[in-house]
Structure formats: C-alpha cells, structure tokens
Amino acid sequence: MDVNQYPDLNVSSRILLGPGPSMVSPRVLRSMSTPLVGHLDPEFLSLMQDVQQMLRYVFQTENELTVPLSGTGSAGMEASLCNFIEPGDRVLIAVQGYFGERLVDMAGRYGAQVDRIDRPWGQVFEPAEIKAALQKARYKLFAIVHAETSTGALQPGIAEIAAAAHENGALLVLDTVTSLGGLPVEIDAWGVDIAYSGTQKCMSAPPGLAPITVSPRAREVLRNRKTKVANWYLDLSMLEKYWGNERTYHHTAPITMNYALREALRMVAEEGLPARFARHRANAELLWAGLEDMDLSMLVPLEYRLPTLTTPLVPPSVDEVAVRRQLLNEYNIEIAGGFGPLKGQVWRIGLMGFSSRRENIALLLAALREVLARRN
C-alpha cells in the first residue's frame, strides 16, 4: 500500500457556527492527548464519578443514573426509547421537526404502537394541546424535543407537559440535544423522566458521547420489563452496573472522549450555569440584531426562538447553498442549510458553547454582509 497517498492530517481552521459540532476549546482539545488508562483502572472509575456528578449539575438533577453513553446524541435518543418500550406498548410522540420524526421512526422499530401529534416545522405546541392528546389513550411514554435542531424552535411549558404525562401514567422523554448547557434544562424541577443530549453542542466537547439521565420512576419501568432490551449496546440495565457501584464490565468506554467531556464539564462548572445561559442569550441577541440590520428575518418568533440555534429566512432569489459555500471557502465559516420542508428556506446558525463568542458573531455578520452584497 502506498502510504504517500495519506499525508499528515492537515485540516482547515474552521469557525463552526452550524448546528453542531460546535468549536472545542484548546483546553478540551489538549485533554485528549493525555495517554490512556484502562477502562477498569481505579483512576478511570474515579473520573467516571466526576463526569457523572458534573452531568447531574448540568441536567439539574439528582438522578443516580446519569451517564454519558458511548455513542453520539442519536444513541442517546435510541437508549431513551428502547429501554422503556416493549413490543405492543402504546407511545405518543410530538413532531415539530426532523428529530420528532426520528423519534417516531425509532419507537416503531422497537415494536411500539405509535400515535403522533404534529405541528408544522418551526412551530411549537401549546401544552394544553398535548394535555388533550394525552387524554385520548393510556400511554407508556410520551416524547418531545425541547430544542429542535432542524428548526430553531424552543418548546415551552415542559413542567406542565410533564405533569400531563404523569397524569396519564406515561413517562416523559425529553430531547435536550441543542439545549443542555446552553439554556435552562431543569430535569427534577420540571419532572422529566428521561433526557438525553450530545456532547458536541452546548457543552463543546467533540461528538462521541451521549449524556442521559433517568429518573427513579423510569428505572422502575426498566426493572419491570417482561422482555430483554432489544439493543444490547444501549441496555441501561447492564450499563447501570458499569456506571454504578458494581463496576461490572459491559463494553470498553471511550476513555479519551471521557477525558474531553470531563474537561468540558469543568468549564461549564467554572462558568456556572446562570452565567453560561446569559452569555448564550446575549450573544444570540447580538446575532439577531445583526441579521435584522441586514433585512433578514427569522423563521421562529422571538417568543420561542432558541438562543443556541437561529434560523434566518433565505431572501428570495438568493442561492443559499452558494452563500454557504462562499462562507466556508473564503472565510472558513461553517453554517448549515435547512432540510426537509425547510430545504432552501432557512440557514441554520449555531451559537453553542465555545462557538458562542462575540468575535464569531462579528465575523459572521461581516462575512455574510460581504457575500450577500456581492450577489446583488
């Protein structure tokens, strides 16, 4: 084999302002060149504890079962369904964008009888609407996305929704992929049973781990299953023994990714959640003001617009793909386009974690202004 085909790794220095991965701070990058210890080394077991404790802080929960799964956010979504669904179980899923659709797909694969309620992409649900839908049948589980990465909309009223789910007897599953670490996520105060996220969004560790938290009520449901969890890799009844006091071997944890997550969580803890949320909000407002100055308007009304992901509408007659290509090739800036029903309609601009910095916003606005001006 001719190894000269594969020169030294040499990637461009990108400013990542898409829907994730976000930029990773030099501190976190550096942590990953730490030599490895084994996955059952006492020092790794103690690191696992640090990670769990700091994840509980970020999720604002006392749930014992709070761990980073060894996969990306999608694995977190799948674990949140496959551990609690048994074939024939009836579940309700709220769909207001792509990730709601994905929840429906996954739940069906595990044999659930899936009912759904829909809102057009970019809108959110009234909690009353969900309450009404939950009154139509008895469900094992109700799942909804907190922050829709495909649209930029933030679902309000989670506490009210949780109460409605519990009244029905259903567990509440919450997708916090694009909210955790960037805006308030109050697992215990809201009464969420299962929540998952990814590391590569507002926590600004690289992709590769999926934080998940599971309430005692949900663990009871897991314990009372009649069938084995179909998915071995994501089976929480085995994973809780590795991450719990038994430390029973299940699979080899991604050591280096856990080094990175620990460092990223330390940075979250140092900043403190209130300051972190305020920074995300203030920077988002700067971005919005700048976009409006350019006569761009947003898909999502201010009231339920995500501070972590903004979706300006593409002006008519502008080729959105060409704009993105220019931003990437000429300015090294990554933003994303819309997809599904929003294809060609919006851009998706993420200001998450370490990417949410004033210099990035100033640069993006300047670059976008130049690119759009050249096209007129």
Give the largest Cα separation in the chain, rounded. Answer: 65
Least separation in angstroms between residue 191's CB and its own copies is 22
266 binds its own copies (CB under 8 A): yes
168 or 179: whose CB is closer to its own copies? Answer: 179
Of 208-237, which residues contact its own copies (CB under 8 A)? Answer: 208, 228-234
Q: How far apart are CA 91 and CA 77, in angstroms?
A: 15
Whose structure tokens read 């851009």? 347
Q: Nearest approach, Cβ of 265 to its own copies (angstroms)? A: 8
Distance CA 245, CA 238 (A): 12
* Binding track, positions 26-55, relative to its own copies; x by CB under 8 A: x--xxxxxxxxxxxxx-xx--x--x--xx-
| Closer residue to its own copies, CB minimum distance, 122 or 208 | 208
List the one residue from 184, 216, 272, 341 that touches its own copies (CB under 8 A). 272
Residue among 348, 350, 287, 362 at smallest CA distance from 320? 348
295 binds its own copies (CB under 8 A): no
Q: How many CA atoms lie within 13 A of 65 on its CB side?
A: 23
Q: Which of 156, 157, 207, 290 binds its own copies (CB under 8 A)?
A: 207
Say if CB 185 and CB 59 are below 8 A apart: yes
Helices (runs of H) and strands (runs of E) counted in the chain: 13, 14
Q: Closer to its own copies at the Cβ: 33 or 224?
A: 33
Asked if 241 interacts with its own copies (CB under 8 A), we say no
Residue 296 tokens, joined: 């761009």
Task: Report d(CA 332, CA 261) in Å as an integer.
Answer: 26
| Site for its own copies, residues 302 to 361, rule: CB under 8 A | 328, 334, 336, 339
Considering only residues 64 through 123, tell me which ones interact with its own copies, judged by CB under 8 A.
70-75, 78, 102, 105-106, 108-110
Three-state DSSP class for 28? helix
